[in-house]
Amino acid sequence: MAIWPVITYGVMNLLSFYSLPRLPAALAIVIIQLKIVFTPIFARIFLKRALLTPRTFALSALVFACISITRYEQMLARPQKSGEALRLGLEIPDRDGVDMLAVGGLVLETALSGLMCVYMQNLFEMTPLIMWRRNVQLAAFSTVFYMGVATFNRECATAQKSWLSLEWNALLLALLSACGGILVALSILFAGAVGKVVATSSSIALTVFAEALLVNHRSPDVLLSSLCLSALNAVIMYSVVS
């Protein structure tokens, strides 16, 4: 049944809603990279996949590369934000304290994400027909679930009364999210749970390059380029070794 993934994804989103506003962005992104660790562990438990293989070293390299890219990007952005805040006369909040409950919630959300990848691959016995059936069932159950959640949320309940005022940006986001769900299912079908996580994690490197070239109109510096190439190299290593 597709009801269990719906419930799990709903719990994951609620955990994200609670945890992400309470954590620094850099720490949150670093914790999310633990998905690369949890997914092979669950694949070992439920799919009986070997854990200590050459691919394990590629996954380890990918984890460290993604974390390093995130931390370096945050380090570059901090002086710029400080200067902007100083120019506008704003005070930067001090976030030395870390909400451990939020950390635990985000770690749990990441573990559930890895578990769901393996669950989809194993229990649904993925074939193209079942994949499309799963997506339709998941979409239907998700609509019911989130309508129920929105009913008990004051802001969402207010927004429900004005469906006709939806903006084009919201519709575009919904369309892209739907396409993303189909691509995720296809990646699990043809590449497996771990391969899907590797592909999504490597998108950090591509995002950094795209943001530097298209948004900031500058080329990434040598260190950042090296970290991105390390992440892409880890993906290539994972793809070619057995």
Structure tokens at 105: 């919630």
How confident is the prediction for the chain on average, in pLDDT?
75
Work out the number of other CB atoms within 10 angstroms of the CB of residue 24: 12
Q: Report the pLDDT value the prediction gives residue 33, as an integer from 0 to 100.
A: 79
Of the CA atoms within 13 Å of residue 152, those in its CB half-sphere come to 4
Query: Could you tell me how far CA 184 lies from the centroid of its own chain?
Result: 11
Range picked from 61-70, 98-107, 138-147 for highest mean pLDDT: 98-107
Work out the number of other CB atoms within 10 angstroms of the CB of residue 15: 19
Summarize pLDDT for 165-204 with one digit per residue, the tens.
Answer: 556 776 677 777 777 777 877 777 777 778 888 877 777 7
Residue position matching structure tokens 């694949």: 43
Summarize pLDDT for 102-136 with one digit per residue, the tens.
Answer: 999 999 999 998 888 888 777 656 677 777 777 77
Q: Are 127 and 121 in contact (CB under 8 A)?
A: no
Q: Report the pLDDT value the prediction gives residue 198, as an integer from 0 to 100.
A: 82
Of the CA atoms within 13 Å of residue 119, those in its CB half-sphere come to 16
Summarize pLDDT for 27-46 with one digit per residue, the tens.
Answer: 787 788 788 888 888 888 88
Residue type, 183: L
- Taking alpha carbons only, the member of 25, 8, 213 closest to residue 117 is 8
Query: How far, in Å, CA of 49 to CA of 71, rounded?
Result: 32
